[in-house]
Structure 1
Amino acid sequence: MKLGSLKSKESLDGELCVISRDLKMAVKVPQISANLREAVEKWNDKESQLKKVYNDLNEGKATGAFPVKEEDFHSALPRTWLFADGSAFIYHVKLVRMARKAPLPETLTTVPLMYQGECGQFLAPTEDIPQRDVSHGTDFEGEVGVITDFVPMGVKPEEALKHIKLFVLINDVSLRGLIPEELASGFGFFQSKPASALSPFTVTEDELGSAYKEGRIHLPLNVSYNGKFFGKANAGAMHFHFGQLIAHAAKTRNLAAGTVIGSGTVSNDDHSMGSSCLAEVRMIETIEQGAPKTPFMKAGDTVEIQMFNEKGENIFGKISQKVKAV
């Protein structure tokens, strides 16, 4: 099943829509739930109703269906209660720590890294990335993520996997120029982590087929930068699976239904697969050439993030954003 949130003048949460498998048609479902956040909160009651509409839509029998225009959609979940972003790709952690000349954590392979990001507003997947100062070092980070139902405190990793209800793509916007000073203060990310964007559509596990196993999506994340190939790193290379990330987030708190858990930047140690953020490219340049040559984003630069299944079909729609000076 595929779902999206149509932009609305009436609600910051948008209007919940069921999206056809080929992403070509949509239908509003206010009779089931006003928005996705509320649907996830009552998922046990709403899932079967939404599934019926989805089947009807794919069979051409849904009443009120209309053509999809991705620019009319918010991020799949326009706002929620919690966005907790992990860093499950060990190679990315190593490169970024080297870039900051910071030591690797002793628990690198045993305890996930995680920060709490902006969740009261996600940028729409076609919305400009605002840039107040080019020295802030604007960067994109291509990620995969999950949306959970209510998760009880102290949940175990394997049990946590059962709380995943939906999957999304994420562009976790980072301001690299502000990160070192914030981390040096000893209190973590805040100004360096502004609003991120989610894919226009979110999907249930069955839409991923055999690509989803062991708590990971084993598919390449396709990233283009300024219209050119940038990366196709496989998301299946996560060291920590999503159950482990969820359990880490829920160690000392319950997670509200609608919580978004991010994988961190998708990264592979095979450089032929490209990268999912500029920071990685700059670190690789430093290692191989002595200094970074690729600049961070400036006004007018564009990034596109999408994922295709084994048949070459687009799963989540496209995150397509441009940096805009503000």
Structure 2
Amino acid sequence: MRLQRLGEVGSERSGILGEDGRIYDLGGITGDIDGAFLAGGGLARARAAYEAGELPLLDGADGMRVGAPVARPGKVVCIGLNYRDHAEETGAALPPRPVVFMKDPGTVVGPYDEVLIPRNSTRTDWEVELGVIIGKRARYLESPEAAKECIAGYAVSHDVSEREFQLDFSPQWDLGKSCETFNPLGPWLVTADEITEPQDLRLRLEVNGVQRQDGNSKDMIFQVAEVIAYLSQYMVLEPGDVINTGTPAGVALGLPQNPYLRAGDTVELSIDGLGSQRQTFAQA
């Protein structure tokens, strides 16, 4: 299934993208696509209602804003330097363990929303990432196989970063990762059963029509299930949490002349099977 949230910020309505390309209303199943919905068997109920033909069309869906496909994630956990080519372009050694940092959940916005360049920013950068949405509580998981059972689905995630804030202003990365609007997510939550091989997905990103990133999730140092199992040894992952699993080479930080983002720039990004995003950047 492909689940989507449509409508103005704070008033989004939930739906399923049907095989006919139309959006079917989940209002009779849930008030929102959030942690409680995922934890309470919401995906199974939504699938059953859709397959039984019980869902009405979502009126006016074509003209609605597309929101992030999961509401109010409790946390956004990120993995840094998780692609070999990205570590190499930044001059970093390959990490022996996952590099973990947190991102303010309030950064999560819709896939086509405007993204704000922070005041006093000089090095705002792009990062296309495979986002994972947790569907089942994960605590001290015994293996990557057990971790797979905790995945609700996947989404395109844009881990926007301010490199000066991230690398120069603090020994931790959070300052450069948690600026407002810095995590567009979506357009869909694509359920795990539809992505048969999450370690073979092509990730692409363009800035103003120029290709900057073109990678594949098979090049991750730590695979998705490994990351979830690892994190569960140190924190409890709850339904609705989002994990950003790293970015391939091609970020501004690693390019000649460091072509960082400026107001008016447009970024387009996509992942196989998960759809695409497009954002225009503006000054905060």
Q: What TM-score, normalized by structure 1, do the two folds share?
A: 0.77
User: When you count strand as a share of all residues, which structure comes out higher?
Assistant: 2
The 1:71/1:229 distance shift into structure 2, 3 A limit, reads farther
Q: Corresponding residue for 1:20?
A: 18
* Structure with greater Cα Rg: 1
Q: Corresponding residue for 1:32?
A: 29
Q: Corresponding residue for 1:129?
A: 115
Inter-partner Cα distance in structure 2 for 1:226 and 1:79? 30
Aligned partner of 1:318 among 267, 276, 282: 276
CA RMSD across the alignment = 2.3
- 1:248 lines up with 2:234 in the alignment: no
Matches within 5 A, 1:121-270: 121-133=107-119, 135-156=121-142, 157-183=144-170, 186=171, 188-193=172-177, 194=179, 195-209=182-196, 212=197, 216-267=198-249
Per the TM alignment, residue 8 of structure 1 is displaced from its structure 2 partner at its CA by 4.2
Q: Corresponding residue for 2:77?
A: 84
The 1:35/1:121 distance shift into structure 2, 3 A limit, reads farther
User: When you count helix as a share of all residues, which structure comes out higher?
Assistant: 1
Alignment-mate amino acid for residue 137 of structure 2: V
The count of aligned residue pairs is 278
Contact 1:70 1:317 in 2 (8 A): no
Inter-partner Cα distance in structure 2 for 1:132 and 1:239? 31
Contact 1:3 1:76 in 2 (8 A): yes
Alignment-mate amino acid for residue 37 of structure 2: A
Q: Corresponding residue for 1:6?
A: 6
Contact 2:156 2:275 in 1 (8 A): no
The 1:71/1:236 distance shift into structure 2, 3 A limit, reads farther
Which deviates further from its counterpart, 297-306 or 218-227?
218-227
Alignment-mate amino acid for residue 47 of structure 1: L
Per the TM alignment, residue 66 of structure 1 is displaced from its structure 2 partner at its CA by 4.9
Identity %: 21
Matches within 5 A, 1:52-71: 52-55=48-51, 62-66=55-59, 68-69=61-62
Inter-partner Cα distance in structure 2 for 1:250 and 1:182? 29
User: 1:44-74 deviations in whole A, cap 9, x for unaligned?
Assistant: xx222211344367xxx84224575486111
Query: Is the partner of 2:275 in helix, strand or coil?
Result: coil
User: 1:149-186 deviations in whole A, cap 9, x for unaligned?
Assistant: 23342213321121111111100010012222234xx3
Per the TM alignment, residue 199 of structure 1 is displaced from its structure 2 partner at its CA by 1.4
Q: Corresponding residue for 2:260?
A: 296
Contact 1:145 1:170 in 2 (8 A): yes
Alignment-mate amino acid for residue 149 of structure 2: K
Contact 1:84 1:260 in 2 (8 A): yes
Aligned partner of 1:95 among 57, 64, 89: 89
Which deviates further from its counterpart, 254-263 or 119-128?
119-128
User: 1:1-25 deviations in whole A, cap 9, x for unaligned?
Assistant: 110111246x46x222111246x31
Contact 2:136 2:151 in 1 (8 A): no
Inter-partner Cα distance in structure 2 for 1:86 and 1:171? 13
Contact 2:6 2:61 in 1 (8 A): no
Superposition misfits of 4+ residues, deviation over 6 angstroms: none
Gaps of 5+ in 1: 268-274, 283-291, 309-314
Gaps of 5+ in 2: none
Alignment-mate amino acid for residue 91 of structure 1: D
Inter-partner Cα distance in structure 2 for 1:317 and 1:34? 24
